[in-house]
Amino acid sequence: MSVAQEIIKIKKELPKHVELVAVSKYHPAELIREAYAAGQRIFGESQVQELQRKHEELQMEGLQWHFIGHLQTNKVKYIAPYISLIHSVDSVKLLAEINKQGQKIGRKIRCLLQLHVAQEENKYGFTEEECRSYLASGEWKQLTYVELCGVMCIATNTDDEEVVRREFHRMSVFFKDAKQKYFAGQESFSICSWGMSDDYPLAIQEGSNMIRVGSKIFGARVY
């Protein structure tokens, strides 16, 4: 199937409340144009340099860029002017830098808190404990140029569906608890970003409302 056909097929099967992020990392601008022509507007990238290049090349009406990779603090300034959502905020230090860069340009930047729920050691993110205590501290309320919009995670890369389901479920519980305790009146804190090509149907069953799908749309990545 072509990129356009995949996009249309996935979208048709998605419940209305679930947003699709087309993960275009390592794929050429040409394929992004194809997806855009099929109606896709949100694209996810994981490297600042690559995103910068594509952002300059692709100036299409309504196109939104989401950052989904590990973000180094010294690179926040490059994407701050245009990024629509940063999924991968994995430290308090990074959050402070995003706030600083947002302040410089007078732009409130939408962010998700990335939690580390997977069994692999090499993944980024807050532990649930760290995130809970950060939220409880209330420090984030000082960051007036950051808008906390929800949570994100990457599940363990395994064929064991129960492991993945359990991780998504924990995220869902975590989100609901945080929402109720700290963001009850805030409509913008509403995003549950989990689910990729191999596990998004499961993710949706377990409360995701934003899925990040790459290879299923664009094919295998060539690194």
Ligand X SMILES: *Cc1c(COP(=O)(O)O)cnc(C)c1O
Q: Which residues bind ligand X (CB under 6 A)?
A: 23, 25, 46, 68-69, 154, 196-198, 212-216
d(CA 212, CA 112): 13
Q: Closer to ligand X by CB, 156 or 197: give it.
A: 197
| Smallest distance from ligand X to CB 136, Å | 26
Nearer to ligand X, 55 or 212 (CB): 212
Pick 47 or 73: Cβ nearer ligand X: 47
User: Residue 46 Cβ, how far from ligand X at the closest point, in Å?
Assistant: 5
In DSSP terms, 185 is beta-bridged to none
User: Minimal distance in Å, beta carbon 184 to ligand X?
Assistant: 28
Q: How far is the CB of 223 from ligand X (least distance, A)?
A: 11
Burial 5-32 (b: 16+ CB within 10 A, else e): ebbeebeeebeeebbbbbbbbbbeeebb
Distance CA 68, CA 45 (A): 6
**If 0-12 CB within 10 Å is exposed, 13-18 middle and 19+ buried, where does residue 114 land?**
buried
Q: Do 152 and 114 touch, CB atoms closer than 8 A?
A: yes
> Residue 102 Cβ, how far from ligand X at the closest point, in Å?
22
Residue closer to ligand X (CB basis): 20 or 63: 20
Encoded tokens for 111: 């962010």
Closer CB to ligand X, residue 100 or residue 170? 170
Q: How far is the CB of 144 from ligand X (least distance, A)?
A: 27
Residue nearest ligand X, CB atom distance: 214
Sign of CA dihedral 134, 138, 144, 148: positive
Residue 145: both structure tokens together: 């140029």
Pick the closer one to ligand X by CB: 53 or 181.
53
Tokens of 38: 């099929």
